Structure 1
Amino acid sequence: MANLINLEAVSKSYGVKPLLDEVSLGVAEGDRIGVVGLNGGGKTTLLEVLAGIAEVDSGRVSRIRGLRLAVVTQRTELPAGTVRDAVLSHYSAEHEWAADSRVRSIVDGLGITALGLETSTANLSGGERRRVALAAALVGELDLIVLDEPTNHLDVEGVRWLADHLLARRAAFVVVTHDRWFLDTVCGRTWEVANGRVEQYEGGYADWIFARAERARLAASAEEKRRNLARKELAWLQRGAKARTSKPRYRIEAAEALIADVPDPRDSVELMSFARRRLGKTVLELENATLHAGDKPVLDDVTWRIGPGDRIGLVGVNGSGKTTLLKLLAGESVPESGKRIEGKTVRLAHLSQELEGLPGQLRVLEAVEEVAARVVLGKQELSASQLAEKLGFPAARQWTPVEDLSGGERRRLQLARLLMAEPNVLLLDEPTNDLDIDTLQQLEDLLDSWPGTLVVVSHDRYLVERVCDAVYALFGDGRITHLPGGIDEYLSRRSAATSVVAAPASAERRTSSAAEHRAAMKELGRLERRLDSLHKRETELHDQLAANATNPDKLVELNAELKSVLAEKDDVEARWLETSELVE
């Protein structure tokens, strides 16, 4: 494979900080590369050097003649004019692009049609502008695609569409993203940018975590903190949603030795018991509630009860009303009819998408200590400084004035202040926005041992699958739908609904059959893993019932859980049979 771009001993600094220090690497035809690293560590700079947007201080950048390159960074600007001008300017007539199924797929898959082709780019929100810029980049015939955080502002369905689209193209791509599901799905190689260097790994996110865990195993005691996080993340990958890995078996066995004594990410039974003692029976309830977001129905005479210790992921397309529903749960709005009920012992914290109420005159540590000096999160007791460090503020950064923080840093500070108040109900609206992977792992580590009720709205399916026990969806029909099959079931339902709407486009359906077959195979694997888990839990419950034969209260609790497990098992088995027919 010929290299499309080569970097030879490239260095690049801004001020006194070297972001790239004599970096040598190359991008070959067909490469699928994910770029990871701490915020501010040089990821965007690397992309801009590759794309020719930023000049290097020293070294050499060479590109093949006639390279067809598209780049979308966080600084990409749209031209003045309409959405049509920005995305479809290469086509002189409507029928030219309308006859190209690939272009139609991009326009529909990124929601450009819904925005309106005649809409002025000046009237678009930040998220809409990013989607238009992404569509404009993808419609061309390309050798290399360079993308910086393309999954931001996409919902779960949009992230999956982008993954399928990139995998179906022949073009090479280099993508910076903190979306770990996306990394593992689309990337064959991973670059980690840190301390001016770029370390290269084969495989996606799972392989990178294996490599980090192995490297940490060999490191000195100063790396103990990082090693524990890598071990816990690796344990999740092995025991939870198993990700693919390209490592040889002997490498896998060496890494697995690291997690032989690592407990599950969280003890759900213990956390549930603790939450019930803190919260009692009533937490948050909606009774016969009706609610609209503009003219769109969010709830139509809905009754929904959220109990102590429930850990809920809430999904839906952009504009389906997730944020509106979260504000209702938080008590920041009232239903149009029906009522909201809040338990007497509830101490609620709501992480909204708006950055409000931060004391700009204080420094970071002072802003956290303003809430409390110490906090107990499950079994962890942390000082304000320790919590700030876990959320991405190293000791030196903790003395930065709040008014000098970036948007992402302000969001992390907002979350730190919420946690310092020791709430027992957490409502999180897109908590992963602007977080790098290391900070995401720290956040998940905190939530693993957090004993309370949790409702998360997020497009990051990895986070939802990691920290939540149940998934609910808004499909735009005025109901809140429980999805026993999680996000995979959500995507299957959305795909089925889209197929019904697009029934006349038979040619387009044929082109998607391969993707549907892959999705069905993946769904079969997920269902099989879930059946194994349910069977194991069923056996454990039978053993516990026998051991508690003289404890009536415990028997009632265990019997109720057993009924729930058996019901879900029947449902999963039925869906396994249905899915297996699709792959025959």
Structure 2
Amino acid sequence: MLMSVSHLEKYNNLKCIAKDISFSIHEHDKIGLIGLNGAGKSTLLKILAGQEDYKGEIIKKKDIRINYLSQHPQFQPENTVLQQVYQEVGHDIAEYEILSILNRFQITHHHQPVGQLSGGQKKRVALAIALIKPCDLLLLDEPTNHLDHEMIEYLEKFLIKFNKALVMITHDRYFLERITKRMMELDYGQLYFYDANYSLYLEQKALREETQQNTQHKRKQFLKKELEWVRAGVQARTTKNKGRLQRFETLSQQEDVPVRQNLEMIDIASRLGHKTIVLHGVSHGYDSVLFEPFDYLLKRNERVGIIGINGSGKSTLLHIIARELQPTKGYVEYGETIRIGYFKQGHEDMDSQQKVIDYIQDEARYLQTRQGEFSAKQMCEKFLFDKDMQYTPIGRLSGGEKRRLYLLKVLMSAPNVLLLDEPTNDLDITTLQILEDYLDSFQGIIITVSHDRYFLDRLCDTLWVFNHQRIEIHNGGYSDYMLNAQPVQRKVKKAVKPQKERAVRLTYHEKKELQTLEETLPLLEQQLHELDEQLHHVSDFASIQALSCQRNQLEEDIETKSNRWLILLEKEEQSH
């Protein structure tokens, strides 16, 4: 066992984060920590990392090494990227390993001062540090934020193979499904445990809540009868009556199951006319071209997802459509009824001293909807900001709560075109599900930049894929795109499928392939060892970059051939 937590209690001001919770973390555990925004997930992770005070007892394994990825990393701005990494990980790790993983996360200017990096770049540097530094327990707070889909898939593969303990907060449901083996849900100060991945957790949670409600109903029915008995004036003279009264007191003091309030989305879109938005040869670039001229006519109620590597120009295109940036070539034509709501990354420039209600009323005091007119205060309540929270300074809100507040402000303008730039960042899964249901029924156009694969599959019917300065159009969601992008793999799968019906036996060609693989794999491993030796003896960046690329390619080749070797070996064993 790596860590034992007993009778943990934690309050932020009057808000209960943890109330007498106990749990343990074992070696090789892969745990997903989930809960509503503001429930205290990040605070609990900080407690485990030793960065937050608490009441209770935490016993850790002797000499345990803990790596922690904060939601908002803090670095020394005068350090270069490489200096910051070495300051965190020490000098026992070879420089080529550090440069390789930094390059994986598109941090290629290794001598750039950390203070010049964007928030997303700092998060990626912090993630690289957390992954490269040896540890027994890895704590990750929203690791997929600011990663493009290629980086996310790399991180997913890394964490699947990771053989140490892992606890992570993430809204990425594919991540939870494929990586985690246990789930911990923080809910109203209580912690619930599930030996399950995400899909099994959903089933077990529904069963738990149903059981809780049934138990509470029976308790209330019993208390109702007992209350009638107590009111009848029965004297506590006999031992039996005393015991009955004590049981009544005990049950009456039990807390009810909290009534869960869910985000309430209502239909707020303005009417959208027949003429929408047309992109005429839109292109943009700074020192070089970001994307070549792009033409597109947006259909009414169309759902477009935008994907591509970081820095390819996705957010730039949203800025252009939102009229916040002029394209270097081409122009955008708008229908007369177009009203754009632009939900940007982060939570824009919020005044931490401003009250929640004032922030919303700055946009509108009343909102006309198809369900009637709602005041700013009523809309705040529908977005889970009760009367007390409405007069709370924004600075006291969690990251997810700020994101939810920002979303409300965007919707208060009653847009019929929604531009969403990484809308899933920092939102809890429950809010995401409600948001997805709302977007399904939204009467207007939605264009979203997102690296959340589940969100893209759930929402989009068209993808704009940024690929080598070109914008390609693909029908369907993310999974459809990935299938179409790998036609060779699909053909291989179709070719081998009929063989499942035959008797398990290696063909002549498969026998030759197995023999070749057994001879080739040791040679590839030797090449990998030789590349590592070369990397130890070079210092210039160009050589390191070239050798690192060779090493990554060789590793992928070894992995592919090893998987094929295992399949053939298993088939050979079954034939005997």
Q: Same fold (TM over 0.5)?
A: yes
Distance 1:515 1:402 in 2: 53
Q: Does 1:450 align with 2:438?
A: no
User: Partner residue of 1:8?
Assistant: 6
User: Partner residue of 1:543?
Assistant: none
Q: Does 1:334 align with 2:326?
A: yes
Pairwise CA distance, 1:317? 1.4
User: Partner residue of 2:129?
Assistant: 136
Distance 1:50 1:393 in 2: 29
The residue correspondences of 1:70-469 to structure 2 (distance < 5 A) are 70-74=67-71, 76-78=73-75, 81-88=79-86, 96-98=94-96, 106-112=101-107, 114=108, 116-218=109-211, 220=213, 278-292=271-285, 294-353=286-345, 363-365=355-357, 367-368=359-360, 371=364, 373-376=366-369, 384-385=376-377, 387-401=379-393, 408-469=400-461
For 1:108, the aligned partner's letter is N
Q: Is contact 2:278–2:298 with CA below 8 Å preserved after alignment?
A: yes
Residue among 48, 66, 69 paired with 1:69: 66
User: Partner residue of 2:50?
Assistant: 52
Q: Is contact 2:31–2:182 with CA below 8 Å preserved after alignment?
A: yes
Q: Is contact 1:286–1:305 with CA below 8 Å preserved after alignment?
A: yes
Distance 2:405 2:386 in 1: 12
Pairwise CA distance, 1:155? 1.9
For 1:346, the aligned partner's letter is I
Distance 2:483 2:421 in 1: 20
Pairwise CA distance, 1:162? 1.2
For 2:308, the aligned partner's letter is G
Q: Residue by residue, what CA displacement relative to the aligned partner does 1:174-225 show, whole Å, maximum 9, x if unpaired?
A: 011222222222111110112222111122222222233334445659x9xx
Give the match's secondary structure for 2:193: strand
For 2:81, the aligned partner's letter is V
Give the match's secondary structure for 1:479: strand
Pairwise CA distance, 1:455? 0.5
Normalising by structure 1, we get a TM-score of 0.69
Q: CA RMSD in A?
A: 3.7
User: Partner residue of 1:530?
Assistant: none
User: Partner residue of 1:39?
Assistant: 37
Structure 2 unaligned segments of length 5 or more: list them.
217-266, 489-545, 565-576
Distance 2:281 2:184 in 1: 51
Q: Is contact 2:458–2:477 with CA below 8 Å preserved after alignment?
A: no
Q: Is contact 2:461–2:477 with CA below 8 Å preserved after alignment?
A: no
Give the match's secondary structure for 1:20: strand
Pairwise CA distance, 1:31? 0.5
Distance 1:473 1:465 in 2: 14
Distance 2:200 2:372 in 1: 29
C-alpha change, 1:27 and 1:410, in structure 2 (3 Å) is closer
Q: Is contact 1:302–1:480 with CA below 8 Å preserved after alignment?
A: no
Distance 1:155 1:129 in 2: 15
C-alpha change, 1:42 and 1:514, in structure 2 (3 Å) is farther
Distance 1:360 1:72 in 2: 24
Give the match's secondary structure for 1:45: helix
User: Partner residue of 1:513?
Assistant: 560
Pairwise CA distance, 1:515? 10
Give the match's secondary structure for 2:290: strand
Distance 1:515 1:483 in 2: 34
C-alpha change, 1:97 and 1:446, in structure 2 (3 Å) is same
**Quick one: percent identity of the two aligned structures?**
35
C-alpha change, 1:452 and 1:97, in structure 2 (3 Å) is same
Q: Is contact 1:391–1:439 with CA below 8 Å preserved after alignment?
A: no
Q: Is contact 2:38–2:398 with CA below 8 Å preserved after alignment?
A: no
Q: Residue by residue, what CA displacement relative to the aligned partner does 1:293-316 show, whole Å, maximum 9, x if unpaired?
A: x23423322211111010111111
Give the match's secondary structure for 1:22: strand
Structure 1 unaligned segments of length 5 or more: list them.
224-270, 518-584
Distance 1:36 1:513 in 2: 34
| Structure having the higher Rg | 2
C-alpha change, 1:75 and 1:457, in structure 2 (3 Å) is closer
Q: Is contact 2:312–2:469 with CA below 8 Å preserved after alignment?
A: no
Distance 2:310 2:563 in 1: 23
Give the match's secondary structure for 2:130: helix
Give the match's secondary structure for 1:279: coil
Distance 1:7 1:354 in 2: 33
For 2:439, the aligned partner's letter is L
C-alpha change, 1:131 and 1:282, in structure 2 (3 Å) is same
Distance 1:11 1:360 in 2: 27
Distance 2:79 2:487 in 1: 33
C-alpha change, 1:419 and 1:93, in structure 2 (3 Å) is closer
C-alpha change, 1:15 and 1:333, in structure 2 (3 Å) is closer
Pairwise CA distance, 1:431? 1.8
Distance 1:153 1:85 in 2: 22
Distance 2:563 2:375 in 1: 49
Give the match's secondary structure for 2:470: coil
C-alpha change, 1:282 and 1:504, in structure 2 (3 Å) is farther
Distance 1:464 1:194 in 2: 28
C-alpha change, 1:485 and 1:296, in structure 2 (3 Å) is farther
User: Partner residue of 1:244?
Assistant: none
For 1:339, the aligned partner's letter is Y
Distance 1:427 1:291 in 2: 18
Distance 2:52 2:358 in 1: 37
C-alpha change, 1:386 and 1:210, in structure 2 (3 Å) is farther
Higher relative contact order (CA 8 A, sep 6+): 2
Pairwise CA distance, 1:432? 2.2
Normalising by structure 2, we get a TM-score of 0.69
Pairwise CA distance, 1:169? 1.5
User: Partner residue of 2:250?
Assistant: none
Q: Does 1:26 align with 2:73?
A: no
Distance 1:491 1:122 in 2: 40
Distance 1:295 1:393 in 2: 45
Pairwise CA distance, 1:506? 4.5
Pairwise CA distance, 1:283? 1.0
Distance 1:77 1:356 in 2: 19
Q: Is contact 2:38–2:397 with CA below 8 Å preserved after alignment?
A: no
For 2:5, the aligned partner's letter is L
Distance 1:110 1:495 in 2: 27
User: Partner residue of 1:473?
Assistant: 465
User: Partner residue of 2:259?
Assistant: none
